[in-house]
Structure 1
Amino acid sequence: MKTRCFLLLLLITSYSYGQLGFCTGSKGDPIFFENFGSGNAFGPALPATYTSYTFVSGLPNDGQYTISNRTNLNAAWHNAPDHTPDTETNGANGRSLVVNASFTAGEFYKRSVTGLCINTTFEFSAWLMNVYSPSLGSCAGTGIPVDVTFEIWDATETTLLKTGSTGAINGSPTALWQQFGLTFTTFPGQTSVVLKMKNNGVGGCGNDLAIDDISFRSCGDPATIASSLSTSPIFEACLGNVPAMIPLSVAISNATPHVFQWQQSTDGTNWTDIPGEISSSYNLPGPGSSQYVRVKIAQDASNLSNPYCYTLSDYYHILIYRIPPAPASNGDRQVCSNDSFELSVIGAANWYDAPAGGNLLLANSDTFTPTVAGSYYAEASLPNISCVSATRTEVKLSVFPQPIVGLDVETSFCENKTVDLDAGISGVDYVWSTTEISKIITVRTAGIYTVTVTKDGCSNVRTFSVVQKNTPVISNIDTTNGIITIEVTQPGDYEYSLDEIMYQDSNFFPNEISGIKTAHVRERTGCGFDSEVFSLIRMPEYFTPNGDGYNDTFDVAGLSYFPKATISIFNQYGKFLKMLTSGNPEWNGTLNGKLLAADDYWYRVDLGNGKIFIGHFALKR
């Protein structure tokens, strides 16, 4: 007798701490749902058979409960609404069952659930919250935890169908609803069960909870529909290519025997049973339009007519596409050889080189860029499926050559002259940047000129860079220190000469003797010439009157060219010493027969034509 009692106790203990878990397959509509109503007032009280706790309209103490739309009945409890405040029948102010655990652990809620389906797996679930808020510090730590055991018994309360415990639910800083559930299976002929909730903790500071949204719903094993014609739950075909039969089968993870009823729908919302199709496979006659197929699944045939007693497979989608019309063309293209060759149609298309058959050039694009002129054909196509238009749309590409205008031109003209610019191609239309429209134009201003030539709608541009060659005009001839510098009024490509025979690039002539000279300047390509006569007096920089026969006199060579010229010589203090003329062009470095000292001396030259200049030289002994 003691052994039998021990085994019974072991069995009950094993059930009491079984594992919780949710339905992993498809779920039916709730056959039972308790949300404790809605409203701002407390209650109403539960029937006396539901609980051994005492109902109060306010804050429940240990061993008491209430039904309220808020949980902040105690200053140490969370201020939270019920689990689904916005989805109750009357909107906000939904209620939940608020329980203050008794000092003695034990059952606090029991009720019968009727109308269940026979031989069916159900999911029981409920939402729980530990209403104590540790942040308020009313209890030690997180307070006494909530720990609830759920038990599902047969109607006679002699057979325990399933049990499971939540384990410790500690108080949390914020209000936290948690869902717990378990699954069980009714026996043949069984349509009701008894739900019991037991408190595993004791009363005291903590172990206060709220319960809401208790539900029972049928639980089916995961079920999917597959077809040998598709690797996905979608079968796609083009109208006209639909097979006579589409083989379908439903696969269920659980080997438990099931009963089936195939259904079909045109919109995925409204479903009808397919008469006679009650096996795990179904050969669907090839439809002429899109539709959905699914399977009702139960563990007993009597449950197939009760929406609360069966579950549903995932649906299988049959997509039937109409044959698309041939794409509309955006027009034939007539382009120039330097333009883009892109052809286009409205909508994605496959491009071919023939009206039928031929080579596929590009798939699934509304544009195509060929490399040569010709006719190309666009076939409407649905993506990822063999469904094409019955005909193809021809799009022609005509390519006209771009006129060949030759290389750009660099040319020049002489100042105050003109130059002709020739487009260089005949039989085309011309538009110059000057707005002239002839093949040849005459310009008289330097700059960049362009001509656009057009034939068959195709154009090309030729550019002319025109430079003016300036005519040289001598503006000044500088002979400072005996160095001749020929200056002109404006820049140009000039060359210079003093004898009109030998020309040079430089306008400097440093080693010329005194005399009457002529400066010559000419533009290198023949655009003008200028000349000017000038006089050059080249003064010695020093002389050495020491009687050696070399450089003994201060002699101004070429002074004879200037008969009116006079040269006055002074010492460094400005004392006049000697005057030289064309008839007397030398000085021997004496004054009144006496030798003057080696020193620096000055001169003043007056050419007698208005030109006067001064300078200095050295007398060395």
Structure 2
Amino acid sequence: MHPKSFYFYLLLLCIGSTELSAQLGFCGGNSGDPIFTEDFGSGNTDGPALPAGTTTYTFTTGTPNDGSYTISSTTNYFGWKNIQDHTPGDTNGKSFIVNASFTAGEFYQRQVEDLCENTSYEFSSWLINLQDAGGCEGNSIPVNVRFQIWDETDTILLAQGDTNSIFASSGAEWEQYALVFKTEPGQTSVILKMRNNSNGGCGNDLAIDDIVFKSCGDNVTVSTNTNETSLVVCDNQGSVSRTLTATPDFSIFSTHAYQWQQSTDQQVWTDIANETTSTLSTPAITTTSYFRVKIAEDPINVNKDLCNVVSDVFDIIVLPIPNTPLSSGDITICEGEVGILSASTESSYTVNWFDAPTDGNLLLEANNNFETSIAGTYYAAANSPEIECASLSRTAITLTVNLPPSVEDESLEFCEDTTMILNADLNNVSYEWSTGATTKEITVGEPGTYTVLLTDVNGCSATKTIELEQIDIPRIDTIISDGPSIIVSTSNDGDFEFSLDGFNFQTSSIFEAVEGGLYTIYVQDTSDCGVVTQSFFHLVIPKFFTPNGDSVNDVYEPEGLEVFNNVEFSIFNRYGKLLKFGNSNSSSWDGSFQGNQMPEDDYWFVIKADTTQFKGHFSLKR
């Protein structure tokens, strides 16, 4: 839409029709087949123009300006919404595109002929406001159309109704509007008119499509005396029949004339001779049949398809007995998996699953697939989802469940600095170790968790897990003399045994009451992973002595120094005074200094034995 003065818009908006609007509405009952349809065609070329006398607007094959229209498959003008036409299934479908004139008034009229006198009709049309919500700076003139039905003399207004204001929006939804009218006695033609209730300007831009005229009558239901509105039976039930009753709601007609019809496809309908009342006793039905009734207010119009309406359809559907379902084949799975048994049947039927070829228990209903992990033979039957109409036999489908390879997990140990052979323990399977190896055995040298996936000829698998623990070789940390005891400490933990001769082992790391001297210390693990040794000079240094003349512990004398070539032996008091100095031939002290007995106290010693030096203290007790 070309921009105009905003104030000019306001002026035009204040000028409008003084005619009173009326109520639009759809036929409240049943309708007949369309008598007149206008969908404006399809194609990529605009046009053709409407017949002369249809509109006072100017036809254009380009952009429709104010007071112009086009017949086109596009609405992409002036930034309008670019939408498809309304007609379902159209390719490049066209619609009637109108840019309202500056002056409100009529923009379309068309005569509709071949109507029936004294008959109700429904006119309907689809319409859309082409302006977007943001068009005209948000001040777009709304669409407001009045539909009118005049007699063929264009002097008697039979019906009219207004759409009321249809405002611009961000959506693009077609809306249907309808108007119900009744022809006068002797009247077989009417004139349809459309007019703009709003003036043009920036806005009031619309598209119209799918104009339809249909006869309009009562809402007529067809049912049995037990209120059935349709019937589904199985072919093995034999023939069926029903007494049908047509019930109009008197919303349009005050009197009723009837003609019953029958069809096998709902496309071609055949009148049933002499069935012209509100009830029908159907013949014996053995194949699917459909029944309806034509109704008119006047008997003269009941067989005129432009004048009558048709009731709801009463279906008698005779289902053929379904064929036995087709199997997708027996299934083999491995234990722990879920098998999916499959069977297929005709599209209008479903599959039920049983545990027996006849009777038995219903396991699953209305599903082509049955899932189970339990081995056995299962049976599929076809049936109708609406009624009991089952196949005469069932299809057997077997599920076989194979056991996977039998494995036992293991916990193994190996000695440090050695290797270990791990064995899958099964033959005639494939192997897939966590190391990537594919052999039955692998050699490893690191502790940890190892797995092997074993797959048999049936494709069933099991995983064997081996926990491999390393037994560490003992590591001697320290060996000390504690009086007559030797204490061994290791830097690692384990089930260790200790020995001074390599033959006799003990679990304790403390050797008690050991004479001084040079020893070899042996430490081994109880799993026989090897022995470590270390030489140790055990010097037994007393912690105290009692020089009281009782011949018991009267001399302070370390044990074991005899193994050394050169020994220096020194005793000091707490003030560092040298009280005794000796050598290999004199490495003891009687507790005196220069003939005087030393008092009770702590004293210190320094022993130099070859290249080794020992220091410590001891107590003199009286």
TM-score range with shorter-chain normalisation? Answer: 0.5 to 0.7
Contact 1:567 1:604 in 2 (8 A): yes
Contact 1:81 1:94 in 2 (8 A): no
Aligned to 2:309: 311
Which shifted more, 343-352 or 552-561? 552-561
Deviations 1:475-528 (A, max 9, x none): 687226767344679975223355999975442458866345564556547787
1:317-328 superposed matches below 5 A: 317-328=315-326
Corresponding position: 1:117 with 2:116: yes
SS of aligned partner of 2:324: coil
Residue identity in the other structure for 1:615:
K
Cα distance in 2 between the residues matched to 1:84 and 1:451: 64
Residue identity in the other structure for 1:310:
N
Contact 1:150 1:197 in 2 (8 A): yes
SS of aligned partner of 1:69: strand
Cα distance in 2 between the residues matched to 1:534 and 1:315: 114
Q: 1:329 to 1:28 in 2, by over 3 A?
A: closer
Aligned to 2:588: 585
1:6-45 superposed matches below 5 A: 19-31=23-35
Aligned to 2:567: 566
2:395 to 381, 393, 396: 393
Cα distance in 1 between the residues matched to 2:81 and 2:377: 74
Cα distance in 2 between the residues matched to 1:93 and 1:420: 85
Deviations 1:81-109 (A, max 9, x none): 9996999999658465956558xxx9999
Deviations 1:299-327 (A, max 9, x none): 33443444432333444555444433323
SS of aligned partner of 1:119: coil
Cα distance in 1 between the residues matched to 2:80 and 2:474: 105
Aligned to 1:367: 370
2:237 to 238, 241, 252: 241
Contact 2:24 2:179 in 1 (8 A): yes
Contact 2:500 2:520 in 1 (8 A): yes
Aligned to 1:493: 495
Contact 2:119 2:183 in 1 (8 A): yes
Corresponding position: 1:221 with 2:218: yes
Q: 1:101 to 1:516 in 2, by over 3 A?
A: closer
Residue identity in the other structure for 2:617:
F
Identity %: 28
Contact 1:45 1:66 in 2 (8 A): no
Residue identity in the other structure for 1:240:
N
Aligned to 1:537: 539
Q: CA deviation at 1:67?
A: 6.1
Residue identity in the other structure for 1:325:
N
Q: CA deviation at 1:117?
A: 0.6
Aligned to 1:69: 70
Cα distance in 2 between the residues matched to 1:543 and 1:30: 134
SS of aligned partner of 1:387: coil
2:360 to 350, 358, 373: 358
SS of aligned partner of 2:236: coil
Q: CA deviation at 1:450?
A: 8.4
Deviations 1:99-140 (A, max 9, x none): 6558xxx999988654321231112456789999999999xx
Contact 1:121 1:186 in 2 (8 A): yes
Aligned pairs, number: 566
Contact 2:136 2:203 in 1 (8 A): no
Cα distance in 2 between the residues matched to 1:80 and 1:462: 68
Aligned to 1:12: none
1:158-307 superposed matches below 5 A: 162-166=158-162, 169=165, 181-193=178-190, 216-226=213-223, 233=230, 235-241=231-237, 243-245=239-241, 247-254=243-250, 256=253, 257-268=255-266, 270-276=267-273, 277-285=275-283, 290=288, 292-307=290-305
1:538-557 superposed matches below 5 A: 538-539=540-541, 555-557=556-558
Q: CA deviation at 1:613?
A: 2.9
Contact 1:350 1:363 in 2 (8 A): yes
Q: CA deviation at 1:40?
A: 6.9
Q: CA deviation at 1:612?
A: 1.6
1:426-441 superposed matches below 5 A: none
Give the root-mean-square deviation of aligned CA atoms.
Answer: 6.6
SS of aligned partner of 2:581: strand
Contact 2:232 2:386 in 1 (8 A): no
Contact 2:115 2:307 in 1 (8 A): yes
TM score, norm. by length of structure 2: 0.63
Q: CA deviation at 1:578?
A: 1.4
Cα distance in 2 between the residues matched to 1:182 and 1:79: 28
Q: CA deviation at 1:170?
A: 8.2
Residue identity in the other structure for 2:26:
F
Residue identity in the other structure for 2:498:
Y
Contact 2:541 2:557 in 1 (8 A): yes
Deviations 1:439-468 (A, max 9, x none): xxxx99999798989999999888776778
Residue identity in the other structure for 2:114:
G
Aligned to 1:478: 479
Cα distance in 2 between the residues matched to 1:521 and 1:286: 106
Q: 1:209 to 1:353 in 2, by over 3 A?
A: closer
Q: CA deviation at 1:211?
A: 9.8
SS of aligned partner of 1:389: coil
Residue identity in the other structure for 2:53:
L
TM score, norm. by length of structure 1: 0.63
Contact 1:82 1:94 in 2 (8 A): no
Deviations 1:517-549 (A, max 9, x none): 56455654778778887531133568899x899
Which shifted more, 410-419 or 504-513? 410-419
Contact 1:120 1:186 in 2 (8 A): yes
Cα distance in 2 between the residues matched to 1:451 and 1:596: 81
Residue identity in the other structure for 2:120:
T
Aligned to 2:11: none
Q: 1:368 to 1:475 in 2, by over 3 A?
A: closer
Residue identity in the other structure for 2:352:
N
Residue identity in the other structure for 2:567:
T
Cα distance in 2 between the residues matched to 1:461 and 1:303: 84
Structure 1 gaps, min length 5: 1-14, 60-64, 72-76, 438-442
Q: 1:242 to 1:499 in 2, by over 3 A?
A: same
Cα distance in 1 between the residues matched to 2:110 and 2:542: 141
1:46 to 16, 40, 53: 53
Q: 1:519 to 1:582 in 2, by over 3 A?
A: farther
Cα distance in 2 between the residues matched to 1:80 and 1:461: 65
1:391-430 superposed matches below 5 A: 391-396=393-398
Q: CA deviation at 1:243?
A: 3.5
Larger radius of gyration: 1
Aligned to 2:75: none
Aligned to 1:440: none
Cα distance in 2 between the residues matched to 1:344 and 1:27: 49
